[in-house]
Amino acid sequence: MDRKQKKTRAAIFAAFSSLLAKKSYNRITVQEIIDAADVGRTTFYAHFETKDDLLKELCEELFGHIIGSAMDCAHTHGLYSDASSPDSVFCHLLQHLQKNGSNILGLLSCESNDIFLRYFKNSLNDLIQNQFLQGKPPKLDLPPDFLINHISGSFVEMVLWWIKGGMKQTPEELDRYFSVVLSSVL
């Protein structure tokens, strides 16, 4: 009895995401989620303790995938192994976002996107930290954790800017912007 569970879980996730596109997180009620997902009240609370819990689990599911994929990519290619590498981890991430198989883009552009940015940036921090530990020392006397924070933070800010502007640039273009931005610290 796992297919049924997965199905309702997915229905709740879908309904929740769809609602987030329309109104802010705070003004979404459990009742609305239930109605949109067409599940019973009891069922909702059997799956999730609370609305905040639903939010957390949705984030973990979505960002877990994208970061996991990037982790693999980083392991084989390196963060920015050579400066002009056509497939840096960052480019890979951007392409992954553009493909939009998941609805991460929807969440990052909704009214309550700030909730998701924390998850996104924290995930990126882990990713970049892993890469730094096995990389060469930075060329400047900036604290390592400052650097990690700056890189992941800048990346998230760039993605936000990209989305807000209608995603008019290709991932490759953005990757070039980002390599310029990072050239003073890497």
Partner DNA sequence: TAATTAACAGAACAATATGTTTGGTAACAA
Partner DNA sequence: TTGTTACCAAACATATTGTTCTGTTAATTA
d(CA 134, CA 184): 20
What CA–CA distance (Å, rounded) separates 158 from 175? 10
Place of tokens 């400066």: 83
Dihedral class, residue 167 (left if φ above 0, else alpha if ψ from -120 to 50, else beta): left
How far, in Å, are 23, 43, 47, 104 from residue 27 at the CA level? 7, 21, 21, 20
29 touches DNA by CB under 7 A: yes
Stretch that binds its own copies, among 38-46, 62-70, 99-107, 138-146 (CB under 8 A): 138-146
Q: Report the nearest approach of DNA to the CB of residue 39 (Å).
A: 3
Q: Is 181 in the site for its own copies (CB under 8 A)?
A: yes
Return the range that interacts with DNA (CB under 7 A); candidates 17-25, 48-56, 136-144, 158-166. Answer: 48-56
Q: Which of residues 135-174 bind DNA (CB under 7 A)?
A: none
Q: Judged by CB under 7 A, how many residues of this single chain contact DNA?
A: 23
Binding site for its own copies (CB under 8 A): 26, 52, 114-115, 117-118, 140, 142, 145-146, 149-150, 153-154, 156-158, 160-161, 165, 177, 180-185
